[in-house]
Each structure stands twice: as structure tokens, then as C-alpha cells.
Chain A
Amino acid sequence: DSGVTQTPKHLITATGQRVTLRCSPRSGDLSVYWYQQSLDQGLQFLIQYYNGEERAKGNILERFSAQQFPDLHSELNLSSLELGDSALYFCASSVEFSGANVLTFGAGSRLTVL
């Protein structure tokens, strides 16, 4: 157990729907990152929050949004889902936001869009 908790572990939904993925960072970590891993691909950075504020944005679609709440948990909202959104979505956390801090990853949420 890495200390980063992601729910749900698996999610199957239909095109056009909206889902929310949840992440609780490791205790003491202020920074949360979201990554997308499509089938047999590397991880693509989506977005990062630090202590409730957006810090960096990657290749995140406009149909996707995220936020980090005062208790530091984060949610990734995916709307108007398309078949190509099927992927493993990872949340990671770290104490701060610089490269000096190692990211700890959750177990991922596998999204299947039918």
C-alpha cells in the first residue's frame, strides 16, 4: 500500500457520460498529480495541484477538469466521454512540487468507455 488511495478501482460507462475519479494523497503530501496511461503507453501528465491551487497543466482535454479540496483530496472529472478516454488514470502525490520530491503513485482507476 503506497498510501495514495484512488477510487473507484474500475469503472465502466458509456460514451457521452460523465465520471469522477477520486484521490486521497499520502498523509503529509500537499501536491497531487494526475496522469493518464492508455493501453501499453507511457504516462501522460494531465494536471497538478499544490495545497488546493492548480500548479501545472499538461495535455488535459477541455472535457476534463480537476480540483483539490481543503482536506487535500483531489477529484478528476471526465465528461462527454469518448471511446478513446478508456485508460488507466493514476494519481500521485508528493510533499512539495519540485523534482526533488519523489512521486508516490496510487493503484490507478481503470476507466472503460463502451
Chain B
Amino acid sequence: AQTVTQSQPEMSVQEAETVTLSCTYDTSENNYYLFWYKQPPSRQMILVIRQEAYKQQNATENRFSVNFQKAAKSFSLKISDSQLGDTAMYFCAFIPVNTDKLIFGTGTRLQVFP
């Protein structure tokens, strides 16, 4: 079965500091996509970053970057210069190419303190 595991239910970080959220996944597929979604208190699901498994270069979007380790099936999210608006639930998600089901982890609740 394909699964996504987020082992940190809650994390906290001080404003302007850096925090890393962990995600591991299990699959026998070789080609797939990985995502981080953010869910703020408004409950809207917002795409943060996407990584294609066949690309070795780690994806970066402004203050957000990933550390993708394909052999280890690890996909962590680093948030630099944390801002109060980064407070949210963060979900790691995975989908094999040519399939239809995006599989989510259980989420990490991130609190950014002033």
C-alpha cells in the first residue's frame, strides 16, 4: 500500500527562524509527484511546493524549499525566515504518475511565535 507519514504532529518556531517539517512515503512506483499543502485556520488547502521524482534538483519557492531524498523516500519541507502567516497545518502528499489519487499524510500543525 502507498502511504505518507508525517511523524511530527506539532511543531513550533519563532518568527524569522527556520523550521523543517518531515515527511516519508512508501511506494514501489518509480515516477511520482510529491507536494506540500498548507491549511491555515481558514481551512483552505493551498499548494506550497511540488517536486517531481525524476528531477534531482530540490524544488524551491521563495522561503520554502524541500529536501528530496528519493532512495530514502523522504521529502522534508524547510521554511526559512518564518512568518506569523505561516501558522497552519501542513500536509505532505504523494501521487504516482498516471494515477488519480492524491494520498495525504496526517499533517503537522505549525505554530509560529512572535
* Total count of chain B residues near the partner, CB < 8 A: 25
The answer on a CB contact under 8 Å between A88 and B100 is no
The answer on a CB contact under 8 Å between A108 and B43 is yes
Q: Given that A88-B43, A107-B44 are known contacts, is A97 also in contact with B107, CB under 8 Å in the complex?
A: no
* Total count of chain A residues near the partner, CB < 8 A: 28
Most B CB contacts (10 A, CB to CB) among A50, A58, A99 go to: A99
Can you name 23 A-B pairs with beta carbons within 8 Å?
A2-B44, A33-B102, A41-B106, A41-B107, A42-B104, A42-B105, A42-B106, A42-B107, A45-B103, A90-B45, A92-B45, A99-B32, A99-B95, A99-B102, A100-B97, A102-B47, A103-B102, A105-B37, A105-B44, A105-B45, A105-B46, A108-B43, A108-B45
Partner-A contacts on B (CB < 8 A): 32-33, 35, 37, 42-47, 50, 91, 95-107
Beyond A42-B106, A108-B43, 13 extra complex contacts between A and B, CB < 8 Å: A33-B100, A45-B101, A45-B102, A56-B99, A56-B101, A88-B43, A90-B45, A97-B100, A98-B97, A105-B44, A107-B44, A108-B44, A110-B43
